[in-house]
Amino acid sequence: MYASLYVVIEIPSRINLAWRDFTSPEYESLGFDLTVERLVSIGYPQELLGFVYDPTFPTRGLVFDTMYGNLLKVDAYGNILVCVHGFNFLPDTRELYPNKFIQRDDTERFYILNTLFNLPGMHLITVLHITFKKCKVHCEKGFKDGDLFMSFKSMFQDVRDAVDWVHFKGTLKEKTVENLEKYVVKDGKLPLLLSRMNEVAKVFLATNSDYKYTDKIMTYLFDFPYGPKHGTAHRPWQSYFDLILVDARKPLFFGEGTVLRQVDTTTGRLKIGTYTGPLQHGIVYSGGSSDIVCDLLGAKGKDILYIGDHIFGDILKSKKRQGWRTFLVIPELAQELHVWTDKSSLFEELQGLDIFLAELYKHLDSSSNERPDISAIQRRMKKVTHDMDMCYGMMGSLFRSGSRQTLFASQVMRYADLYAASFINLLYYPFSYLFRAAHVLVRIHTY
């Protein structure tokens, strides 16, 4: 369990859960296959159906340049750390990016891929590069075939539309429910953690999914022959929550929201009219807003710990608009820590090179004309950084490139009060625990 920089928080009296327990890479692979089928159905090449999803390639936090079709890993300020076109690294990017820098606020051109749902789409974009290169003329801003031109921006929009179609109109949910054991991870500690939370706080669930789908997923997650502990009676999943809210439509939920309605749990349909009554245990609500939830729970922003895995739709919006305390679930963190431990020699070598570089300048100041030759050290640093990145996968660590922090890492530090690979980690802390980040000096950034 990690606390962000200079943040002190204590477990509050209201806890929200907005997590997705779909497995990777099986669920991502399913999303990839269905998205490919959708693209083929609207005219893309049949040979796309022969590609298999590679879970080692994509990583969250990348930026897609819709002008040149590149995937970029950048730091918090927009400085380019890694540039990939298709599956090929571009060692020299100055021709396309003279300052090795992008304007992140140019959202028409640069699209940040921060969510777990973005991963299949990222891989599909690279697959399209390979496919079109074989049969079309590659241009700086797209592909040309006779009188037809496909820009990278148009291709990217088609992929986004296909991904949205798969999630909202396609068979993704249907296929997930048909094979829950393959796509959904069960954790026997979940009932125990929620029952303990119930003893000290109100717990509510907020999801964008409809009730029928939510019920099937949650029923499976709580499908154990026992209750919170072995030897106790089994409890329905609804009994672990003081408030259940479906069809939340986050991030709209954190702004004006929608009308709050009541769900008929027998049919899954919404009851007519707006719900105006008090909070009632056992009732399932649809829509609403974060303000309505606060009113129902009798809570203020700082009273709520919001747990989610979507850094924009969950964490950023709940923090900026409501001031809720936030817990970001980062499943990749387990692999990050494994590599950090297993490849510690590379991290130590990079640290040693930093120290050696500092020693070369130790006795020099602004009056010195001496210019130490650091070219060999720079080359070695670049090589070690690349070797470190490859330990995580082609696009490297989610949090760093060498000793430099990524955009994703900076967003975690800024908006997540707590972060961990799983919120189940809370089971191992008393609810009175005070989480506090270690004090560090401000890092000096060099480019």
CA distances from 10 to 75, 80, 202 (A): 30, 37, 15
How far, rounded to the nearest angstrom, does the alpha carbon of residue 404 sit from its chain's CA centroid? Answer: 20
DSSP strand pairing (304-308 vs 404-405): unpaired
Q: Give the C-alpha separation, 416 to 303, whole Å.
A: 15
Cβ proximity of 191 and 222 under 8 Å: yes
Q: Are 9 and 323 in contact (CB under 8 A)?
A: no
Own/partner pairs for 99-103, CB < 8 Å, 24+ apart? 100/447, 101/77, 102/63, 102/65, 102/72, 102/74, 102/78, 103/78
Answer yes or no: is 309 a known binding residue. Answer: yes
Taking every pair of Cα atoms in the chain, the longest distance, rounded to a whole number of angstroms, is: 81
Beta-carbon contacts of 1 under 8 Å, excluding residues fewer than 6 positions away, are 418, 420, 425, 426, 429, 435
Amino acid occupying residue 18: A
**Which residues are registered as beta bridge partners of 149?**
144
Ramachandran assignment for 268, one of left (phi > 0), alpha (psi -120 to 50 degrees), beta (any other): left
| Cβ proximity of 56 and 393 under 8 Å | yes
Beta bridge partners of 85: 88
Residue position matching structure tokens 């300048």? 361
The size of the chain, in residues, is 447
Residues 431, 201 contacting (CB under 8 angstroms): yes
CA 25 to chain CA mean position, Å:
14
Task: List, as residue ranges, the binding site for Mg(2+).
Answer: 309
Task: List, as residue ranges, the binding site.
Answer: 309
